[in-house]
Amino acid sequence: MKNNLIMLGLSLGISILVAIWAYRDARTRDSNPFLWSAGAVIGGLMLPFLGALLVPVLYIIFRPKGHLNTCPHCNRKYINYLAFCPHCGKPVKKECLRCHENMELDATECPYCRMKA
């Protein structure tokens, strides 16, 4: 019985570490940070160890994929297709005046229509 409690405690500890990691990574990628961190804790409690390890594997498979850029305002990472930083909410893209596509703040011309920024 005492061993079970230690196992559960250890599993919960791993789950919490996974939850913190998933929360931060999901924010960066504009995924759902609450869903993934809650999933990690619940998974760790329902299936000790296995659940805590299964959630990050599932998360890595299903998380939005893309290149990570650094926000010029707060220096934190965000996934490249976002127009606003998920951490500080400031715009990280500017809109092309001709075709209204988004481009990087430091771009000198629009990658879609070649209009000079």
Which of 12, 115 has the CB closer to Zn ion? 115
Of the candidates 65, 14, 53, 58, the residue with the CA atom closest to the CA atom of residue 36: 58
Least distance (Å) from Zn ion to the CB of residue 117?
A: 9
State how far the Cα of 59 lies from the Cα of 52, in Å rounded to an integer: 11
State how beta strands 102-104 and 68-70 pair. unpaired
State how far the Cα of 106 lies from the Cα of 18, in Å rounded to an integer: 35
* Entry field: residues in the chain: 117
Count of residues engaged in binding Zn ion, rule: CB under 5 A: 13
Angle value at C-alpha 64, between 97 and 84, nearest 5 degrees: 35
Q: Write out the binding residues for Zn ion, residues 57-116 only, by CB under 5 A.
A: 71, 73-74, 85, 87-88, 96, 98-99, 110, 112-113, 115
Which of 64, 100 has the CB closer to Zn ion? 100
Which single residue is written with the structure tokens 């606003």?
84
Least distance (Å) from Zn ion to the CB of residue 13?
A: 31
Binding to Zn ion by CB under 5 A, coded x per residue (else -) over 16-55, reads ----------------------------------------
Which of 40, 96 has the CB closer to Zn ion? 96
State how far the Cα of 65 lies from the Cα of 91, in Å rounded to an integer: 20
Which residues are near Zn ion by CB under 5 A?
71, 73-74, 85, 87-88, 96, 98-99, 110, 112-113, 115
